[in-house]
Structure 1
Amino acid sequence: MAVLALSLILMLILGDVLMRELVAPLADAFGIQGVPSGVYAAQQRSLYLLVVVAFLGIGLSVATAGQIVPTVAFGWVPKRLEPLIERLSHLVSAAIMFAVCWYGWLFVRDSMEYPTLLSGLNWPAWVVQSVIPLGFLSAGLRYLAFAIWPATAPARPEVQE
């Protein structure tokens, strides 16, 4: 879904630029009337898709160990306790993700009660906002799986980029 959303962003922005900078001027030059000078609400639609990508990306970064991990206290625990601490950190991370998911759901639920529409689409705002709890739920489930089955956790890169 994230790749699809990014592809749609690319098509919207590219189509908008091509319409404004190429098609509309050519139509004007040939005297063709009624050619739009861009894609309607391309920037707003792209922004909504970017929100989708960002919140779906939370689960993807957890799945690939792409998130930023502070390593300041990694050497403080004896080697024999590292597997236990690793499981505990996954459980704590899962709990945090589930808590944020809950508050995200409350935000979406409140948004459902009010008729807020997205500009450019005239859709209810909660349709796009629903990716907020879904992204955190996905991350929480992944962390929970890593705590239960440590072998499923991705290896952290040796050096953060």
Structure 2
Amino acid sequence: MPKSGGDDSPSSYRSDLPGPLGWVDNGIARAEAFLLAAGVLLMAVNTVANVVGRFGFGTSIQATEEVNRILIILITFAGISYAARHGRHIRMTAFFDMMPVKLRKLVMIIIALVTAGFMFALTWYSWGYLQTTLGRGRVLPSLQIPVWWTLVWVPVGFFMTGLQYLLTAIKNMLEKDIYLSTNVLEGYADESEQEI
């Protein structure tokens, strides 16, 4: 059953989209969950290991800052897709909430398509930036890996977010209800559903 008002439980996410669209949506959901969980866990382990090394053994792990920078990029750009999937992006709804249902549905489709277009444009530009960085041949001082490897997540995150908004537009075209994402209904959770 679709969730209302941005309620999210990633472990139980199942797309309601038909056929291949549902498979794509479910695949993206699994990839997001894995990337976010792995990124946060690796960052925590890396930071704790560095603190233990610094205060317990008097020496820091040399590459801790670089590893955390890579993981922050990963978490940020996987997170924008995750937020789109769960209807968690900031929305200004004062005028939207006053519109009749049919107009709100049309506006939601337009918003999703325009946002998808912007995300795909940002994918294109970030891909160009990635290629420029690749051409410069710079490497990270401690890890000695090419800098462009750290930026791979930027176009991937923008692309996954654009795909999520495109799937949201399609979902709104196929269903009679209004959806913030492929599985989150527009509206606010009832007070009885809210946890204290």
What band does the TM-score fall into relative to the shorter chain? 0.7 to 0.9
Confirm or deny: 8 A CA contact 1:45 1:120 kept in the other structure.
no
Cα offset, 1:158, TM superposition: 2.5
Question: Can you give the 5+ residue segments of structure 2 that lack an aligned partner in the other structure?
Answer: 1-34, 176-181, 190-196
Verify the 8 A CA contact 1:64 1:154 in the aligned structure 2.
Answer: yes
The higher-RCO structure (CA 8 Å, 6+ apart) is 2
Residue 114 (structure 1) aligned with residue 148 (structure 2): no
Computing the radius of gyration over CA atoms, which structure comes out larger, 1 or 2?
A: 1
* Partner of residue 91, structure 1: 113
- The superposition leaves residues 109-134 of structure 1 with CA deviations (integer Å, 9 ceiling, x where unpaired) of 11111111123211111111111110
Work out whether 1:104 is the aligned partner of 2:126: yes
Q: Provide the rounded CA distance (Å) in 1 between the counterparts of 2:165 and 2:139.
A: 34
What is the number of equivalent residue pairs in this alignment? 147
Cα distance in 2, alignment partners of residues 3 and 89 from structure 1 = 29
Match of 1:31 in 2: none
CA deviation after TM superposition for structure 1 residue 99, in Å? 0.7
Counterpart selection for 1:54 from 66, 76, 89: 76
Q: Which runs of 5+ in 1 are unaligned?
A: 26-36
Instruction: Evaluate the alpha carbon distance shift between residue 106 and residue 83 of structure 1 in structure 2; reply closer, same or farther with a 3 A threshold.
Output: same
Contact 1:101 1:137 in 2 (8 A): yes
The SS at the match of 1:68 is coil
**RMSD across aligned C-alpha pairs, in angstroms?**
1.7
Matching residue of 1:138: 160
Distance in 2 (alpha carbons) for counterparts of 1:7 and 1:91: 34
TM normalised by structure 2 equals: 0.69
One of 65, 86, 94 as aligned partner of 1:72: 94
- After TM superposition, the runs of 4+ consecutive aligned structure 1 residues lying more than 4 A away are none
User: 2:104 aligned to 69, 75, 82, which one?
Assistant: 82
Matched, 1:128 2:162: no
What is the alpha-carbon distance in structure 2 between the residues aligned to residue 121 and residue 69 of structure 1? 40
Taking a change above 3 Å as real, the CA distance of residues 2 and 75 of structure 1, as seen in their structure-2 partners, is: closer
Note closer, same or farther for the CA distance 1:79–1:133 as it changes in structure 2 (3 Å cut): same
Aligned positions of 1:17-36 closer than 5 A: 17-22=51-56, 24=57
CA–CA separation in structure 2 for the residues paired with 1:75 and 1:109: 43
Structure 1 length normalisation: TM-score?
0.83
